[in-house]
Every structure is written in C-alpha cells, then in structure tokens.
C-alpha cells in the first residue's frame, strides 16, 4: 500500500504476527491518506509476501524493513507498529533514530517476557514437523480471532475467510513457529533489548487495549520505563487491535504526537 508521494510526510506501518496489511491498516490509513504518503507491506512470511525457509528473527524482520524503506525512497518518516510490528518498529528506531520522525507502538510485543521453554518448544523441529501436517480447524481460527478483539464484530467476513486460508498454508504455519523460535533468545536478553530500544528519544506514542488478551496492558509499565518521555493511552473496551477497533482515536493520538 503506497498512497501520496512528493513532499507529503511519510508514515510506515508494520502489522503484527499472522496479519496482513489490508486487514491491519485499512481503517487507520484512511485518516492519513489525504495528507501523508502511507507505506505499508506484508511482512515476509505473512499475507501475500514471500515465505522463504529462513529464520524469522528480529534482525531478519528489521533488515526487511530497512530494505523496504530504502526501495520506497523514504528517509524521514513516522513509524507505527502493532504487536510483532511494534517490536520491529522499536528495534529499527533504536538503530536509526535519525530517520524516525515519530514512533507509535500499538500493543507491542517485546515488553512482557515469554517463557523461554515454551518459546523453544514452539519452534522445535518436532513441533514444526507435526504442525505442518495439521490443518487448524475453523473453530480454532475463529476462537483466535475472537480473542484478538473486544467486540467480535470488529473483524469482517472477508478478513475471517482470509485468516482461514492463511491458517491452512504450511508456509505461514512455518513462519509462526520460526518467529517463536527466533524470539526465545531475544526474550532471554530482554534487559539488553530494552536498553537498545531506549536509544530512540524522539516523539513516542504508546497505545494499548485495556482488554488485550494476547499482550496484556501491564506491558505498558515496562514500555514506559523504556520510553519515559512517551505519551501513553490505554483504550477501554478494546482488545489487541486498537487500529482496527478504534482507528479514529488511534489516528488522532498519533497525529497529535508528530505523525
């Protein structure tokens, strides 16, 4: 998705794990389309992007973002990431603080510890071997989507059908497991990870859904220690996907903070 060019300020959007650009950002992008150049893409391994047989580490995703913004020719931009995308955005901003005009993190991964053993098991060769041969039932996918939002009606029929199709794709399943495997070492070194993130001191917005059942809102406490200068917002009656559930409110807050 790329809208408006020329002298318009750029905003780069990074979706979360298992998501894809249109489902994650269409509502929010509408609030930027007339004034900004919006750059959004399916992360490698998800949506319509290639799904190479590689390690899906934080470094790999950060490198992919670096390549995309380079190809798009944007050098000074606002960066917003959701969930896994928030983790990637925080990492990129830490390494390239001079290029990120403003940072927005929506229910970001990386601020609550994932148990090391569970992450290792999820990414093990045995788990990968088994999961690639299993097709998740639609009931499981429905439950996963329902858990992602406060109001089940926030996810449309088209997005549900697309989610069912992706959940049956072996390459996408492989990506999920590789992400968990790659995250294990990062989670072990979370203190060093946060110290790195703190290198970014530009305008920062932290937004969390109060009823997030995937990355609970208590993660905001850690995020605020990393970014003590940040503007923080907790949205009541909101689950894991603020940009889908409350796009107008999210856009208003980001625009007020340098986007």
**Percent of the residues in the chain that have a pLDDT greater than 70, as a whole number:** 86
Q: Lowest-confidence range among 1-10, 13-22, 52-61, 215-224? A: 1-10
The per-residue pLDDT for range 136-175, each reduced to its tens digit, is: 667 778 888 899 999 989 999 999 999 888 888 888 888 8
Give the CATH number, domain containing residue 118.
3.40.50.1820
The residue to which tokens 């980001």 are assigned? 254
Domain that includes residue 197, residue range:
2-256
Residue 182 has pLDDT above 60, yes or no: yes
- pLDDT for the residue numbered 116: 45
Residue 34 has pLDDT above 60, yes or no: yes
- pLDDT for the residue numbered 113: 72
Q: Could you give the number of structural domains in the chain?
A: 1
Q: Lowest-confidence range among 57-71, 89-103, 130-144? A: 130-144
């Amino acid at each position: 998705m790329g809208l408006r060019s020329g002298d318009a300020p750029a905003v780069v959007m990074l979706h979360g794990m298992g998501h894809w650009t249109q489902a994650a950002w269409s509502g929010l992008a509408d609030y930027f389309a007339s004034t900004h150049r919006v750059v959004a893409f399916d992360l490698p391994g998800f949506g319509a992007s290639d799904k190479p047989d590689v390690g899906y580490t934080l470094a790999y995703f950060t490198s992919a973002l670096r390549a995309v913004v380079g190809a798009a020719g944007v050098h000074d931009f606002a960066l917003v990431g959701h969930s896994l995308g928030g983790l990637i955005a925080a990492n990129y901003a830490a390494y390239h603080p001079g290029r990120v005009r403003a940072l927005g993190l929506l229910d970001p991964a990386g601020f609550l510890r994932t148990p090391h053993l569970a992450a290792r098991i999820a990414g093990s060769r045995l788990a990968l071997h088994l999961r690639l041969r299993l097709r998740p039932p639609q009931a499981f996918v429905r439950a996963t989507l329902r858990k992602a939002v406060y109001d089940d009606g926030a996810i449309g029929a088209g997005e549900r059908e697309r989610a069912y199709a992706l959940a049956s794709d072996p390459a996408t399943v492989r990506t999920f497991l590789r992400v968990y495997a790659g995250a294990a070492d990062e989670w072990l070194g979370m203190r060093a990870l946060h110290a790195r993130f703190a290198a970014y001191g530009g305008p920062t917005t932290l937004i969390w859904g109060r009823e997030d059942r995937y990355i609970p809102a208590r993660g905001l406490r850690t995020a605020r220690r990393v970014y003590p200068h940040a503007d923080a917002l907790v949205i009541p009656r909101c689950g894991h996907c603020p940009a889908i559930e409350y796009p107008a409110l999210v856009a208003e807050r980001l625009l007020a903070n340098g986007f």
